[in-house]
């Protein structure tokens, strides 16, 4: 999995830097190509000679070599890498990454890297718990960096708690999963998408302006990760085309429910991205209704709540993700839905956020999990939002 992969390890100043020797050893043993960047303070914890020897190449730490005038091209380093892992990521480096500070080679490379960036915080538990550190970590996640959470245990300070850098074996496993041909290989995913049309008469219907773009992006992201996707979509012009995706077109909520119920027992994940109409006309007129000068009253009746009904059937091997488009008090309503519909994660977008939700190419989401953890992301393309969602799912199983 890691053979031939170009991994750039960036080491900042924390006692956990000693673990990087093991990390580099594990990576080279898997035939990964490893280059190492160190900050000046990282060198207080582990020598460049150790990491140069283990990575079989020079360690980079300054933008240029004063003796020879040689310039270390941070852009080239960033472009060389298939993946950059900042480990350990100290509170200081995390704060600088968040604020675009560029006063060393590690930060210059981070700012110009085009590859996925993972960061593994390591610090004392109070530094980690501090509101500014938490805010910085949340900002980096929101920008699409991948957090490898610290572990709980005995810290260098003698205190016990969260803040230990993830163990090298665990870091390697996460990198392997990232490169694995399809993290969702062999998994089946049910995705509902788009609006539903609830007929009033032969030509008219009740619906909403869901475009199906978010559902399509999620389906493609899963398919690219090797999953088999059952894509149940209401009428839209956004259908994903991929050999791993089977498309089932439906019109009404009842039809969508019937298909989902039938396919549900075979799936590992269900993603409820459809904007299902809550109500349908009680009676549909087979003829086109004529106007006759009098008010027209259409009696509505409730549609099945697909997510709620399947939530009742969910086994502990199945994983549900719901969506909520809210206009006010988003957190409160989202958490209520998470519980009521038995979701594992709920993805929330707010009508107030410009560029988010129905019809847009972009979305701005916040995800809540069952442990009440909130992860917020910046406004970004729906394709990138889908990748963020997939990564969060893999960290919640």
Catalytic residue numbers, as ranges: 208
- State the number of binding residues for ligand C5P (CB under 6 A): 15
CB nearer ligand C5P, residue 9 or residue 271 = 271
Q: Is 233 in the site for ligand C5P (CB under 6 A)?
A: no
In the stretch 182-221, what mask flags binding to ligand C5P with x, by CB under 6 A? ----------x-----------------------------
- Distance of closest approach, residue 192 Cβ to ligand C5P, in angstroms: 6
| Cβ atoms of residues 81 and 114 within 8 Å | no
Q: Is 322 in the site for ligand C5P (CB under 6 A)?
A: yes
Nearest of 108, 290, 281 to residue 206 by alpha carbon: 281
Q: Is 276 in the site for ligand C5P (CB under 6 A)?
A: yes
Residue 269's alpha-carbon distances to 65, 342, 366, 391, 396, in angstroms, are 52, 13, 20, 14, 12
- Distance of closest approach, residue 332 Cβ to ligand C5P, in angstroms: 13
312 CA to centre of own chain: 26
Stretch in the footprint of ligand C5P (CB under 6 A) among 143-151, 175-183, 268-276, 387-395: 268-276
- Distance of closest approach, residue 363 Cβ to ligand C5P, in angstroms: 14
Question: From CA 19, how far away is CA 298, in angstroms rounded?
Answer: 68
Stretch in the footprint of ligand C5P (CB under 6 A) among 121-129, 213-221, 270-278, 311-319: 270-278
Q: Is 253 in the site for ligand C5P (CB under 6 A)?
A: yes
| Cβ atoms of residues 162 and 154 within 8 Å | no
> Which residues lie closer than 8 Å to 221 by C-beta, 6 or more apart?
383, 386, 387, 389, 390
- Distance of closest approach, residue 307 Cβ to ligand C5P, in angstroms: 3
Q: Is 330 in the site for ligand C5P (CB under 6 A)?
A: no
Q: Is 163 in the site for ligand C5P (CB under 6 A)?
A: no
Stretch in the footprint of ligand C5P (CB under 6 A) among 27-35, 144-152, 159-167, 299-307: 299-307
Residue 183's alpha-carbon distances to 223, 226, 364, in angstroms, are 10, 7, 24
Query: Using CB atoms within 10 A of its CB, is residue 101 exposed (0-12), middle (13-18) or buried (19+)?
Result: middle
Contact with ligand C5P (CB under 6 A): which of 305, 353, 378, 383? 305
Q: Is 136 in the site for ligand C5P (CB under 6 A)?
A: no
Query: 255: helix, coil or strand?
Result: helix
Q: Is 303 in the site for ligand C5P (CB under 6 A)?
A: yes
Which DSSP letter does residue 184 get? T
Give the number of other Cβ atoms within 10 Å of residue 228's Cβ: 19
Look up residue 80 and give its two tokens: 């060389």
Stretch in the footprint of ligand C5P (CB under 6 A) among 17-25, 146-154, 217-225, 301-309: 301-309
Q: Is 267 in the site for ligand C5P (CB under 6 A)?
A: no
Question: From CA 142, how far away is CA 153, in angstroms rounded?
Answer: 27
Beta strand 228-233 with 245-249 is parallel
Q: Is 232 in the site for ligand C5P (CB under 6 A)?
A: no
- Distance of closest approach, residue 5 Cβ to ligand C5P, in angstroms: 36
| Cβ atoms of residues 238 and 212 within 8 Å | yes
Q: Is 274 in the site for ligand C5P (CB under 6 A)?
A: yes
Q: Is 272 in the site for ligand C5P (CB under 6 A)?
A: yes
Q: Which residues bind ligand C5P (CB under 6 A)?
A: 192, 253, 272, 274, 276, 278, 303, 305-307, 322-324, 337, 341
């Amino acid at each position: 999995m890691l053979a031939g992969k170009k991994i750039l390890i960036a080491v900042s100043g924390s006692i956990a830097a000693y673990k990087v020797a093991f990390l580099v050893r594990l990576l080279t043993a898997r035939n990964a190509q490893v280059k190492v960047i160190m900050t000046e303070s990282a060198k207080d914890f582990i020598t460049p000679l150790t990491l140069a020897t283990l990575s079989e190449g020079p360690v980079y730490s300054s933008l240029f070599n004063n003796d020879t005038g040689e310039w270390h091209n941070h852009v080239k380093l960033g472009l060389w890498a298939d993946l950059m892992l900042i480990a350990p990521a100290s509170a200081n480096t995390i704060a600088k990454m968040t604020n675009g500070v560029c006063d060393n080679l590690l930060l210059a490379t981070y700012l110009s890297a085009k590859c996925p960036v993972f960061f593994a915080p390591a610090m004392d538990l109070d530094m980690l718990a501090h509101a500014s550190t938490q805010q910085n970590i949340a900002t980096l996640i929101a920008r699409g960096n991948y957090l490898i959470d610290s572990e709980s245990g005995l810290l260098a300070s003698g205190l016990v708690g969260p803040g230990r850098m993830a163990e090298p074996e665990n870091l390697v496993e996460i990198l392997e999963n990232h490169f694995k041909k399809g993290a969702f290989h062999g998994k089946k995913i049910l995705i509902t998408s788009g609006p539903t049309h609830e007929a009033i008469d032969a030509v008219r219907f009740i619906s909403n302006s869901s475009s199906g773009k978010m559902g399509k992006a999620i389906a493609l992201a899963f398919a690219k990760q090797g999953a088999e996707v059952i894509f149940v979509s209401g009428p839209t012009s956004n259908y994903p085309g991929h050999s791993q995706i089977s498309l089932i077109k439906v019109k009404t909520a009842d039809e969508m429910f019937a298909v989902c119920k039938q396919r549900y027992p075979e799936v590992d994940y269900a993603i409820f991205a459809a904007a299902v109409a809550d109500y349908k006309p009680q009676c549909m007129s087979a003829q086109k209704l004529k106007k006759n000068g009098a008010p027209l009253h259409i009696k509505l009746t409730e549609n099945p709540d697909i997510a709620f009904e399947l939530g009742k059937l969910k086994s502990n091997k199945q994983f549900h993700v719901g969506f909520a488009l809210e206009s006010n008090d988003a957190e409160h309503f989202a958490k209520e839905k998470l519980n009521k519909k038995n979701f594992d994660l709920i993805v929330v977008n707010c009508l107030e956020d410009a560029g988010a939700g129905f019809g847009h190419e972009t979305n701005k989401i916040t995800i809540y999990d069952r442990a009440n953890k909130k992860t917020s992301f910046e406004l970004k393309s729906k394709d990138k939002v889908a990748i963020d969602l997939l990564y969060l799912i893999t960290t919640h199983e």
